[in-house]
Amino acid sequence: MDKQKGVSDSILYLMSLSAGLIVANLYYNQPLLHLISKSFGATESAVSNVALATQLGYAVGLLFVIPLGDMVSNKKILKIDFSFMIISLMAAVFSTSLWFLVAASFFIGCTSALPQLFVPMAAQLSNPQNRGRAIGIVMSGLLIGILASRVISGFIGEQFGWRTMYLVASIMMLFLFIVLKLKLPQVEPVYKGNYRDLMKSLVHFFKAEPSLRLAAVRGGLSFAGLSAFWTTLVFLMEDNFGYGSGVTGTFGLVGVVGALAASVVGKLSDKMSKNRIIITATLIFIISWTVFLFSHHSIIGIIIGVILIDLGQQSLHIANQNIIFSKNENARNRVNTVYMVIFFMGGALGTVLGALAWQHFRWTGVSVLGLALSLLLLLVHMVFGNKRI
């Protein structure tokens, strides 16, 4: 343990790497949607249910699994969760219908909520003056995993088929579990009550913490826009540019610019006004969607928009989490659960709205949707947020 930082960088980077590899399971499907559509002869709207089920599953995992981090050893949670995660990934490999894959995707999402144990753990192990930095390091891995997953799955899907991606993922999770079992420090639970009371306390924190509710709404609105973008990008690339999943996946590399800025944003959130960071991030969202609106046939425009939207998302997310972790030190997993459940419910809503916007209005509809969500985010924060930070 570093006396100044409260936790060694080696542990932080292990959690960062693990968070990235696990969360990648949620996003492998997005560049593969067109291939899956062809495989099962399904419409674009129907196949978007794969992404939707994954995000809903993630929200369920957050709600019912992550609070256990306050009352059950992290090592025990890892053992059980990884077992079901690997089984779910293998079920996707051998899925015989679209709806079987949708069901498997739900459980992949549910069991891939584990990275949200690492974020409160980083906050818990770090000193208050370095909490933003610790969160930023773990969040860097998380976002890089989200973005790199699209690159990997796009390439593997195009070269070897979409089922191969799920097989590779299951093998990676097996090896990761072994490493975590050996290296991750064991964190003893703080909460001494039963599971029923633990879950009831989520409602208490939601009702009692206005800053938590507002952070969750901000996060949900921002992630709704991001999900709408990534869900429909593969269709834009196919229809307007004639590119397959491989090219779509490489856009994840562009977004890594935003991910690499996470540790910087984390340090800034320890020193700068959270309000300033949130407003700046929201303005970046508005600019990014404006760029997208005029980039129907411009790869350069799409690249610029990807860099901006991921940078904005990372900045807002770290500021939100630094705010909510500054209180309720013995209940960080539950506070994080409330925040992240609403965050990913926003993502699920964005997936649905994005698919509908594409189906009826193509890329203009998606861009207007994202712009409207960003403006709503700014309005909510300006009206309610300034006094809650």
Per residue in 331-386, pLDDT (tens digit) is 888 898 999 889 978 988 998 899 899 989 999 999 999 999 999 999 999 988 76
- Max mean pLDDT range (41-45, 67-71, 185-189): 67-71
pLDDT of residue 285: 96
pLDDT at residue 4 is higher than 60? no
What CA–CA distances, in Å, run from 121 to 32, 175, 338? 33, 22, 16
Q: Per the structure block, which two tokens stand in for 133?
A: 């930095």
What CA–CA distances, in Å, run from 63 to 33, 130, 199, 334, 376? 27, 28, 8, 9, 26
pLDDT at residue 246 is higher than 80? no
Per residue in 65-81, pLDDT (tens digit) is 889 888 888 888 999 99
For 206-234, what is the mean pLDDT? 92
pLDDT-derived band at 1 (thresholds 50, 70, 90) equals very low
Burial 223-252 (b: 16+ CB within 10 A, else e): bbbbbbbbbbbbbbbbebeebbbbbbbebb
Closest CA to 155 of 244, 217, 231, 215: 244
pLDDT at residue 142 is higher than 90? no
Per residue in 93-138, pLDDT (tens digit) is 999 999 999 999 999 999 999 988 888 888 777 776 677 778 778 8
pLDDT-derived band at 3 (thresholds 50, 70, 90) equals very low
pLDDT of residue 388: 56
pLDDT at residue 205 is higher than 50? yes
Q: Per the structure block, which two tokens stand in for 254?
A: 């562009």
Specify the range with the lowest mean pLDDT, choosing from 9-13, 264-268, 311-315, 318-322: 264-268
Per residue in 293-340, pLDDT (tens digit) is 999 889 999 989 988 898 898 889 888 988 888 777 778 888 989 998
pLDDT-derived band at 190 (thresholds 50, 70, 90) equals confident
Whether 59 and 186 have beta carbons less than 8 Å apart is answered as no
Per residue in 129-139, pLDDT (tens digit) is 677 778 778 87
pLDDT at residue 176 is higher than 90? yes
For 8-21, what is the mean pLDDT? 88
Query: Residue 3: which residues within 8 A CB-CB, separation 6 or more?
Result: none
Residues in the chain: 389
For 35-49, what is the mean pLDDT? 86
pLDDT of residue 341: 84
Query: Residue 2: which residues within 8 A CB-CB, separation 6 or more?
Result: 8, 9
CA atoms in the 13 A half-sphere facing the CB of 201: 21
What CA–CA distances, in Å, run from 226 to 162, 307, 312? 23, 12, 10
pLDDT of residue 50: 92
Specify the range with the lowest mean pLDDT, choosing from 13-27, 221-235, 242-256, 375-389: 242-256
pLDDT at residue 268 is higher than 80? no
Q: How far apart are CA 146 and CA 144, in angstroms?
A: 5
User: Position 96: which residue type?
Assistant: T
Whether 133 and 5 have beta carbons less than 8 Å apart is answered as yes
Q: How far apart are CA 88 and CA 313, in angstroms?
A: 29
Whether 142 and 115 have beta carbons less than 8 Å apart is answered as yes
| Helix (H) / strand (E) containing 97 | none
Kindly state which CATH superfamily the domain 9-184+193-388 is placed in: MFS general substrate transporter like domains (1.20.1250.20)
Whether 20 and 141 have beta carbons less than 8 Å apart is answered as yes
CA-CA-CA-CA torsion sign (26, 31, 35, 37)? positive
pLDDT at residue 209 is higher than 80? yes
CA angle 242, 149, 270 (to 5 degrees): 120
Q: What percent of the chain shows pLDDT beyond 90? A: 42
pLDDT of residue 152: 87
pLDDT at residue 254 is higher than 90? no
pLDDT of residue 24: 93
Q: Where are the domains of the chain?
A: 9-184+193-388
Three-class DSSP category at 2:
coil
Q: How far apart are CA 253 and CA 273, in angstroms?
A: 30
Closest CA to 230 of 358, 53, 109: 358
